Structure 1
Amino acid sequence: MTAAAELLDEMCHLAAQSLAPMDTSDHFQVVKLLGEGSYGKVMLAVHRLRGTPMALKFFPRESTSLFSFLREYNLSLSFCTHPSLTRALGIAYSTPSHYVFAQQASLFGDLYDVILPEVGMEEDSCQRVVSQLCGALSHLHALGFVHRDLKPENVFLCDSACRWVKLGDFGMVKAAGTKVPEVWYSSPYCTPESEVARGNEDSRSSQSAAAEPGAGGGKTGRVWVAVEPSTDTWALGVLAYAMLTGAHPWAETASDCRSYLRYREWSDGAKGPHDELDVWAEPRGGGGSVEEGPPVAPQFACFTPLARCFFRTLLDPSPRLRARPEEALNYLGGEWVMEKERARLEEERKKSGGKVAIRNMKEKEGRGER
Structure 2
Amino acid sequence: MPGKQSEEGPVEAGASEDSEEEGLGGLTFKELQQGQEAARALEDMMTLSAQTLVRAEVDELYKEVRPLGQGRYGRVLLVTHRQKGTPLALKQLPKPRTSLRGFLYEFCVGLSLGVHSAIVTAYGIGIESAQSYSFLTEPVLHGDLMAFIQPKLCAPPPLPEGLPIQPALDAWALGVLVFCLLTGYFPWDQPLAEADPFYEDFLIWQASGQPQDRPQPWFGLAPAADALLWGLLDPHPRRRSAVSSIREHLGRPWRQREGEAEEVGAVKEEAGQ
Q: Computing the radius of gyration over CA atoms, which structure comes out larger, 1 or 2?
A: 2
Quickly name the TM-score band, shorter chain normalised: 0.3 to 0.5
Taking structure 1 as the reference length, what is the TM-score of the superposition?
Answer: 0.36
Taking structure 2 as the reference length, what is the TM-score of the superposition?
Answer: 0.47
